[in-house]
Chain A
Amino acid sequence: MTTRPSLAAVVSCLVAAAILAVLPFLISGYHQGLLTQVAVFFIAILGLDVLTGYSGQISIGHGAFMAVGGYTTAVMSYYHHTNLIVTMLMAFGICLAFGFVVGLPALRLSGVYLALATFALAVSMPQIPLKFSRFLGGSNGLQAQTVSHLWLYGVAWAAAAILFVGAWLILRGRTGRAFRAIRDSEVAATSSGVELPIYKTLAFGISAAYAGVAGSLFVLATNGYASPNEFTVALSLQILIGAAVAGLGSLWGVLVGAVFVGLLPEVSSSVPVVGSTHGQDVVFGLFVIVVILLLPTGFAGLLARLRVRLTRQSMASINSDPGTS
């Protein structure tokens, strides 16, 4: 990644932004809701990519951070009628702190052990609203203020855009390099002066803060309803799948990953398969397998390979050697 974004990157970002800005006025409220879902996943996957893709720490527990963010919004809105945008900022801040705290024990874990620890977090987090049911609404959940589809669409994608630029700014320079250095070689990173505890917990904090905002929007997207059933382990896995489809360690594939996990369940439910209620899951699973097989390095990896091929072709045409293909 260079200091300045390439022209192609800027143009594709602007085109994507323009399409997303016009689109809500052409589609129904229901479809606006679906695309809001995509924005939620976009933000969550962005966060996971900072942690897993850049700093190399695997998390299967991002649903837990989303739950903290989501309940922050629900609690503040339900009890204090706080402005929803303000609750999102609070979700960001609280999850940033929570991420740091979770990052501390994670310093001692790596690889599959860290994955399991975060998995445990994802499993245990939905139990907390059940335990403190008087305050958090138990299994019935907690109702935040409801908003229109269009409002939420606008806020979600605006947040997505801001957080995307934020991630790009953080990752392009010294901090992003420190994250990737840790991922590639902890010994060499340390010897180059990269403080592992600081950067590893920082990655956790940023990542959790992103997931927190996503969780906040997620609650608003489900009619403002925060309930333990929404923040299951499956949600964490969806984010991980989205990040894998996007391609870890690159920001450019995140939109594709978000569209994949945001829309595929919807699309696959309308496919007439087995007919059972689980047909949707089967189709989703099959799609995931096919995509992972075809794109082992995700969409970003595909982009990188295409770029290499294009540069080779242009090099070849410059050299114009008729004997080689």
Chain B
Amino acid sequence: MTFVPPDLMPALPEIFVATMACLVLVIDVYLPEARRTTTLWLSIATLLFAALLTLATAPEARVPGFHGHFVRDAMGDVLKIGVYLSMAAALLYSRDYLRNRTLFKGEYYVLALFAVLGMMVMISAASFLTVYLGLELLSLSLYALVAFDREDGRCSESAMKYFVLGALASGMLLYGISMMYGATGSLNLASVAQAIAGKGDKTLVLIFGTAFLVVGLAFKLGAVPFHMWLPDVYQGAPTSVTMIVASAPKLAAFALTMRILVEGVAPLGADWQQMLMVLAALSIAAGNVIAIAQTNIKRLLAYSTISHVGFILLGFVAGTAEGYAASMFYALTYVLMTVGSFGLLILCGRAGVEIENISDLKGLNDRSPWLAFMMLVLMMSTAGIPFLVGFYAKFAVLQAVVAQGFVGLAIFAVILSVIGAFYYLRVVKVMYFDKAEDDTTLSVSADAQVLMGANGLAVMLLGVYPSGLMALCSAAIH
């Protein structure tokens, strides 16, 4: 048997990020404390250059690599660029936050870069092995990030929860993978699909395997009833880490779902669509209803995430290319809005004062009309009010669902989004209608302010003209 070296070109962005992550680690060791910002800018530059590299080397068609374990395609490229940009924004937002809490350390950035690498591997996975590899690289980096503030008991507690439940989820996923492997004799997603299709009738082990895969995915996505870790982790982790946990990994989780369910076990679509329908409906219901009772804004955003995950899953329930494209559009815009919302919470805090409760935003319009307006835009967009991008995300998903005849499901989803609108309105109410208790003016660094502006403007511009990104998503899926 001769050894054929794999073509490394399709994996160039992954190789670049891996190299840079190691390089940043080494450089940081030699940096004096005062020059720590170099690490930050180097990390951001890595991410931006990776985006350019991904764009420049984007192949015309789907390119497999590493003997079928890896795949480079348009969907992956779009999602990866989303990951780079959201992570770069998250890092820039949290600079002053970390500095004020003596968390401004090089390891933070190295872990973030490794998390990005993990997501990239997940996004480009073409076999169960790569899926698991990427997932664990991402998860381990995130566990460490959540526990980053080791002085704080709450951080350690939530990291512990995250770790235990994450490990459980990985176990479920692995169990599902092993069943699939046993039934089909292959780890490669495409051959798994072929083997299942060739079998004709569905065996029990295949159904069970699918169920375990879905459970594992639901854990990672945070769909009800596998969502328990999400609010605790969101609340316990430092806000800058919550921002990372809440944003880019959802893109990777979307890709994971696409790769495993749509490309891997596609012939069992009828089975997993039913499971996802239940998960989606429960997530939308529980996320929106429980969020109403929250006073902690991070927990509120956690439940809001759960309801958005439900909407993302709705696109999979539709089971059409339009549905997947709508889900992808939803995931991308969700990340855009989430990074902005958490970024705003970070910018509104300062040394010793952290935005924890909704009431901490009281009178924001008096303290900083600009930030209040940005939060208004983000909250209304998340609620799905039009001329903001969040509306089109919901619209596209619902349209795909209605086109498959699930009108009842669509009605259920819209009723719950009205219920959900209430808690976003409450945030707006606190900012605009209440008087400030804390009159200190907010000092926000110029670059963070520009970034916030760009973030809000993107939500508005995509709201006026969403078709560019929509077309990109549907081209990436087809």
Task: Say if A and B assemble together.
Answer: no
A residues at B contact (CB < 8 Å): none
B residues at A contact (CB < 8 Å): none
